[in-house]
Chain A
Amino acid sequence: MAIAASSTDSTLAIQRPSAVHRWLQHLTARPSGLLGLVIVVTFVLLAILAPVVAPHDPLQQNWKVRLEPPLTSGDDGQLYILGTDSLGRDILSRLIFGARISIAVAVLAVALRSSMGVLIGLAAGYYRGPTDAVLMRLADIQLAIPFLVLAIALMAIIGTGFSKIVLVLGVTGWVTYGRIVRSEVLSVRERDYVEAARAIGAPNRTILFRHVLPNVSSSIIVISTLEIALMITAEATLSFLGLGVQPPTPSWGVMVADGRDLIYGQWWVSAWPGLAICLAVLGVNLLGDWLRDVLDPTTRGGALQRRLSKRDA
């Protein structure tokens, strides 16, 4: 066993530089993917380092510097790069702290969505028959209720706040994963190596998690990236409607709502948080599109090859 482990280690060690090289090549072949990665990494770093990089306290109200336009220093002599809101809070600092909420809600909700969807999809595809029929009818039912309608009704009933928004966004989104995993399981389960695993008496669980799941992992990664973008928007939307994260916690959606009645004069109060959402979603989408092209076997190489040959020409 130890010998086997060390031998795989050594092969990995030999392959590693080429794998890194390959990914770098993929990235440089498509600048939009690189741009997406840079945007995402920037937002994640800002979120982690928020207390260090934010110039002001995001919750500190100051009635002397209410609604200062961007790039002006208030009566207190401090510079407010993106201006202040109607309570005199620094918008840039609130944006930076808002990234924490956005990223945390999106990542946790997607983790919940994907694990629910993957389990349901594996069960439906592997057991087929009545299990499959019941689960897929459940999917139909859920799709007949628009995601936002269901999310809003649930938030209204169970109440608002960080953990509830994660729960509601998490449990309402398994269908995309469930359907894709199911269809992949249906095709994979007929393959020879799964047949062989079953023939040597491997238990269902081993077959599902060792042999079937790795085959659907790249689809799951791609969907999850794009779902993160959807969840960032969903959190902001619910918070904008007053059904998500509650003030004074700095959430981008709450911040846009704060500036809703100020669009006649103080445009910056709602403009900046909206742009932050756009940029974050754009970054995640660019990264997701790139991952899809790299990981999807039907386009793998093809897209890259075309790009590379074009550059050479």
Chain B
Amino acid sequence: MARFITRRLAQALVVLFGVSIVVFVLVRITGDPTALLVSADARPEDIERYRTSLGLDRPWHEQYLHFVGHALRGDFGNSFRHREPAIALVLERIPNTLMLTGAAMLLAYSLPILAGLLSAMRPNTALDALIRGIAICAQAAPSFWLGLVLMMIFSVRLDWLPPTGSSTLRGIILPAITLSAFFMATNVRLLRSSMLEVLSRDYVRTARAKGLSESLAIRRHAFKNAAIPLVTMAGIQFASMIGGAIVTETVFAYPGMGLLAIQSIQSRDYPVIQAFVLVSAITIVVVNLLIDLAYVWLDPRIGLEG
């Protein structure tokens, strides 16, 4: 158990080290970042002074150590646009983004379980066909468009919900549905197929044969096993949602770090982009670590293997 946790922690550190290199390299892909940072009419000696002040005249490994040293202290430099520390801007927005992804995760792991079970328990009926049909269509709809359609229906036509997103209950409903739709659909299909597979296994047949009621057989024996793929997917889905939040937040003008990232990209605000990529990665690594720990708690065999 302890060994498993230390190993996962070590892996997480290796991943974060790698991500820091990726972020460092990102801005240097084009060559000299000063070209991006100074105005086009700057004098050569000004550019040279700027290069020295950023440490760009030093060898790359020194530059990397410099970058990591500052990044560890949360220093990515000031945002060009806001004249504030880039990291502060990102951290300010992260609660909103976590609220949105949290709401979307909640949706993705509630309704689909009901729908998936209904579908699997009455396979090849009209209800099953309906659920599967909706799921496969929802999986195909691009989220930026789905957001606009929901806005058109529920904000413009029906005037039920505000067209701009916010972290209030009313303001988060449409963005959360938009962000979650693809994952809800995926989870319905995932649970249906794993449930059908589990229901054909011997231990479920035994449970039925020994006279357990159908609902008890399903609850006690089948569902727990069928839900394993869903738990496994949770970490990957959370990571995808952090990426998807960029799109959802842009569509609904929801004040999260994804919207900040898009605005920063439009104004070439590289310190903010760097801070955003690193903060996203740290969030994902931490959440995945927590999911792994929850996994050990749910299924002690996993801890013993490590």
* A-side contacts of B19, CB under 8 Å: 141, 144-145
- Which of B137, B148, B266, B277 has most A Cβ within 10 Å? B148
CB distance from A85 to the nearest CB of B (A): 15
Q: Given A137-B14, A140-B14, A157-B30, do A145 and B140 touch, yes or no (CB 8 Å)?
A: no
B95 contacts partner chain A, Cβ-Cβ < 8 Å: no
What mask results when residues 259 to 302 of chain A are scored 1 for a CB within 8 Å of chain B, else 0? Answer: 11001100100110110011101100110000000000000000
Q: Is A19 an interface residue (CB 8 A)?
A: no
Q: Do B246 and A152 touch (CB < 8 A)?
A: yes
Interchain CB contact under 8 A, A285 and B148: no
Q: Does A20 count as interface, using CB distance less than 8 angstroms?
A: no
Give Cα A267–Cα B153 distance, bound, in whole angstroms: 10
- Inter-chain CA distance A271–B137, complex, in Å, is 15
Assuming the A-B contacts A145-B19, A146-B243, are A237 and B14 also in contact, with contact meaning beta carbons closer than 8 angstroms in the complex?
Answer: no
Question: Would you call B137 and A278 a contact (CB within 8 A)?
Answer: yes
**In chain B, residues 132-185, which have Cβ atoms closer than 8 Å to a Cβ of chain A?**
136-137, 139-146, 148-149, 151-152, 156
Q: Least Cβ distance of B27 to chain A in Å?
A: 7
Task: Check if A251 is an interface residue, CB within 8 A of chain B.
Answer: no
With an 8 Å Cβ cutoff, the count of chain B residues facing the other chain is: 50
Interface size class of A (residues with CB under 8 A): 35 or more
Q: Is the CB of A256 within 8 A of B30?
A: no
Query: Secondary structure of the A side of the interface?
Result: helix
Task: Provide the residues of chain A in CB contact with B151, threshold 8 Å.
Answer: 263
A12 interface hit (Cβ, 8 Å): no
Chain A residues with CB under 8 Å of B137's CB are: 278, 282
Question: A149 and B152: CB pair below 8 A?
Answer: no
A144 touches B285 (CB 8 A): yes
Q: Is the CB of B156 within 8 A of A263?
A: yes
Whether B140 and A229, one on each chain, are in contact in the complex, defined by CB atoms closer than 8 angstroms, is: yes
Interface residues of B (CB under 8 A from A): 11, 14-16, 18-19, 22, 26-27, 29-30, 124, 136-137, 139-146, 148-149, 151-152, 156, 236, 239-240, 242-244, 246-247, 250-251, 261-262, 265-266, 268, 273, 276-277, 280-281, 284-285, 288
Closest 7 CB pairs of A and B: A146-B243, A148-B243, A141-B18, A274-B145, A281-B140, A282-B140, A156-B265
